[in-house]
Amino acid sequence: MRPGWPILMFLSVLLVLTAAITISSRVWMLESHRELTQEQKRYNELLDKENALQIELISRTDMNTIERRARQELGMQPLWPTQWRVLKP
């Protein structure tokens, strides 16, 4: 018995769809891996910078330099007196 042409056509379309889904999922996986690798690289760079700043903070005794860097590089500002909260023991 020979299968009819509608069955062969259905199987051909099914094969093409399966191949398209497989290829698109593989491409999506590669893009996700690339994005994850880039984010891990950025995270590691931030960790290195944080560690360097912590070491510098520990070793530095000049508070004016620390305050100047905090204001210029990190955009930090001192708190207003109304923002202070007193903790009672």
What does the pLDDT look like over 10-21, one tens digit per residue?
Answer: 999 999 999 999
Instruction: Report yes or no on 85 lying in a domain.
Output: no
Predicted TM-score (pTM) above 0.85: no
Q: Is residue 36 included in any domain, yes or no? A: yes
Q: What is the pLDDT of residues 46-63, one digit of tens each?
A: 999 888 888 877 776 677
Q: Could you tell me if residue 23 is inside a domain?
A: yes
Q: Which amino acid is at 46?
A: L
Range of the domain at 23: 5-73
Q: What is the pLDDT of residue 32?
A: 95
Residue 12 lies in a domain: yes
User: Is 34 among the domain residues?
Assistant: yes
Establish if 57 belongs to a structural domain: yes
Name the domain count of the chain.
1
What mean pLDDT value characterizes the chain? Answer: 85
